[in-house]
Each structure stands twice: as C-alpha cells, then as structure tokens.
Amino acid sequence: MNFVEPIRDRRDVLKIKKFLREYGEQNLKSYPDKYYIMFITGIYLGLRINEILKMTVGDVKGRKTCTFRQSKTGKEIMVEYNAELLRAYKEYCEHRTPDEALIPSPYNEYKPITRDMAYKVMNKAKKAAGIQYSIGTHTLRKTCGYHYYRQTKDIATLQIWFNHTSPEETLRYIGVTRDSVLKAMRNFRI
C-alpha cells in the first residue's frame, strides 16, 4: 500500500471541488454531483472510503446526524453534518429514495461505486488540480484531520474522532509529524 498525503493547501481543495463539479456535469448523465458529494463527505466527516461508500440517501436526507459502524474497528461513531454538507445533501437527494446508495454505481442506484472507481476519480482530480504528491481515497480522511488540526490545534478531539490510541499516532497519520521533521531539516544549520 502506498503512503498517501492529505491535501494541505486549501486552494487545492477548492480546485478539486471545482473539478469534480465540472467533471460530473460534463460526463455523468445521472447523479452528476456524486463525486463532489463523495469528496466533501470525506473531507468534512473524516470517514474511511468504505464507510462513505456504504452510506445511503437515507443516512443524509433530512438528517443532521447519523451513527455508523466503523469498517476497520467495528465501533460506532456518530457524525454531524455541517452547513455545507446539509445544503449539498438537500439538493443532491431531493428526488431520491432512502434506500439508494449515496454514491451510486452507474449500473444500479442501490449499489455504490467501487473503491477502485473512487481511487480513479481522486487521481483524475489530482491531475486536474496539478497536485504532485501521492493521493488516494484515504487522502479524504487525512485532509479532514490535517485541516481540523491546523485550524484548532485540538489533537485530543481529533484523536477521539479518528479512534487513535495516542496523539502521536494522530499527528503522524495526518502528516503533521512529517511536516515538522521536514521543516526542521530545512531550517537546520551547523
């Protein structure tokens, strides 16, 4: 498995959002915003891609919170949707039924896209945004954690949010430890 990075630059996040909207409008006849929805769900909730792909319209339509079972640990986690997600979900789910997959396959609206398809979409977005480092589906979760930490410096909440055993694990996971080491090397003089 390759090591993937969070998207550190907010401008790159905005470029990817814009690309996914335009890509959907140009290339998808049904559910043109599904990849945009996948992206914002990941960067705002910090869920793993398997958890995002398991989501149904009923998990978000007309709701402010939802409880999920984490795919890796089996533990329950409750999420609350922010204002941007609520607006996007309301529009996206308006004429859809609760049993439909939130990010549906092109062949069956009750089945989600595959993890491989999510990876391919993320890499198309990476190229469109001009990002040079390695990203993948896990980048969504890492981006959430990275930006939350940079805005709040609240590692304790993020550790609980991501179900990590230590603050060090969380900092390493979101790339802050790597940033600090690289900065130290860059600024080191004898």
Tell me if residue 147 is catalytic: no
Tell me if residue 11 is catalytic: no
Per the residue annotation, which of 141, 142, 146, 149 is the catalytic one? Answer: 141
Tens-digit pLDDT profile for residues 138-185:
999 999 999 999 999 999 999 999 999 999 999 989 988 878 778 888
- Distance of alpha carbon 186 from alpha carbon 62, whole angstroms: 49
Contact 71, 54 (CB under 8 A): yes
Tell me if residue 95 is catalytic: no
Tell me if residue 141 is catalytic: yes
- Distance of alpha carbon 163 from alpha carbon 77, whole angstroms: 9
- Whether the pTM exceeds 0.75: the reply is yes
Q: Domains in the chain, ordered, with CATH? A: 10-187 (1.10.443.10)
More confident call, 69 vs 91: 91
Tens-digit pLDDT profile for residues 31-71:
999 999 999 999 999 999 999 999 999 999 999 999 988 87
138-152 helix and 10-27 helix, angle to the nearest 10 degrees: 140
- Distance of alpha carbon 77 from alpha carbon 114, whole angstroms: 23
